[in-house]
Copies of this chain bind each other. A is one copy, B any other.
Amino acid sequence: MKILMVGTGGVGEAAAVIASKRDPKGDWLELMVLSDYSLERAQSVSERIADARFPAEKVNARNKDEVKALVQKYQVDLLFNACDPSFNENLFDVAFECGVHYTDMALSLSVPHPTDPYHKTNVMMGDYQFAKHEDWEKRGLLALVGIGMDPGAVNVFARFAQKHYFDEIDEISIKDGGNLSAEGYDITFGFSIWTTIDECLNPPFKWEKDKGIYTVEPFSEPEKFTFPDGIGEQELVNVEHEEMVMLPRFMGDVAKRMSFKYGLGADFITMLKNLRALRLDDKLSKVRGTEFSPRDVVGMVAPSPVEVADKLKGKCCVGTLVTGLKDGKERKVFLYQTSDNEELMERIGCGCVVGQTAYNPVMAFELLAKGIWQGKGVLGPECFDPDPYIELADEYDFYMGMMEMESEYKKLMDKQALLSTVKILSK
């Protein structure tokens, strides 16, 4: 498989490192072109990897012709969009126009409802992309959208849970938390600043079978959730996230409710509210006749995820909590990925938030390259068989676990755990 990566930021770099290490002999990865607006950045990533299959190129991702020229030059099979999602529409269209497959890790952006943003939807995440599903399908092309950690692995978890652990699902709720902190920094972004501001200040989506997708207030419905791996209890709130348009689309037939909850922390929420109050979250502003993006300015001056990555300590944990019925008993299961920042820094030289994201597109590329995952149209990770993905994660040494949470079903399992100890040994 020949891939053109557009955008060699934190996630792009991590994905390149992971791919190069995973497939040193090129069994399935023939080429991964590293292109970025900054040639210097692309080159430094390329030099770090020191693998001839990873050449550096300069590209302006907003300029279709420049991207197309690279697709042609390298005759790639797939365009891997590793930019922030404001580039999605352009890159998604370029891939289609060039007749190559496409992958991203976040969906095209929403536009809140002009008069009732916290109840009604308007343009939703991914609308632009999903609207073109049939066109892609007809041309036999695949746009695998939202294959990062969340969205991405959590969508696979949802499908896996539905396939194996439940007869009936009540709720699918994504939980994103962690305990990262960096000495000397009061506020840190583990991930794209631009995207973080966007997803946190936009009206969050939720879904119910009878109501469909609807919006609520940002940071609403706080709840306590206890993450594993030493992270402990956190307060989670509603935040806009892709899963709330993807899972209803592809798994709306198997669940009653869906939600996405983020453990931002009170300080982080206050900071975001202040950005909004100061209009520093605006995507476009006009001051003395000059147009500029205050949000881009924040993204440029604030401590970047790359800058703080090697100073962060702690872990991040993202997973899918599914509640429902199994064998007539109420069951609650949490499928999760947990990463330790220092451990990932040592292993792939990237922080855990970007690293946690980057494993997923690479694993998907391998499954697609090997023909284990096949599809056409604009699809999410939940459209594919989750089993080979879970198995592959183990080969990548990308930790994934399943926790049985307190429930009627677990009480029965606790009993069986005790009894099976005796019975296994007495056999």
Residues of A at under 8 Å CB distance from B?
Answer: 160, 164-165, 228-230, 335-336, 338, 387, 390-391, 394, 399-404, 406, 410-411, 414-415, 417-419, 421-423, 425-426
Contacts and interface: CB of A to CB of B under 8 A. Distances in A.
Given A160-B421, A399-B411, 4 more contacts: A165-B421, A228-B410, A400-B418, A402-B417
A394 B415 CA distance: 9
Nearest to A417: B402
Contacts of A336: 414
A417 B403 CA distance: 8
Given A387-B425, A390-B422, A411 B335 contact: no
Interface of chain A: mostly helix, strand, loop or mixed: helix
Contacts of A164: 421, 425
Contacts of A399: 411, 415
Contact of A335 (B165, B338, B401, B418): B418
A391 B414 contact: no
18 contacts: A228-B406, A229-B411, A336-B414, A387-B422, A390-B421, A391-B422, A391-B423, A394-B415, A394-B419, A399-B415, A400-B418, A401-B411, A401-B415, A401-B418, A402-B415, A402-B417, A403-B417, A404-B417
Nearest to A399: B415
Q: How many copies does the complex hold?
A: 2
B402 A421 contact: yes
B419 A390 contact: yes
Nearest to A386: B422
A155 B280 CA distance: 62
Contact of A414 (B228, B410, B415): B228
Contacts of A402: 414-415, 417-418, 421
Contacts of A423: 391
A318 to B, nearest CB: 14
A399 B419 CA distance: 11
A20 B60 CA distance: 84
Contacts of A425: 164, 387
Given A402-B418, A414-B401, A415-B394, A387 B426 contact: yes
A333 to B, nearest CB: 9
A390 B411 contact: no
A400 B415 contact: yes
Contacts of A335: 418
A417 B338 CA distance: 15
A157 to B, nearest CB: 9
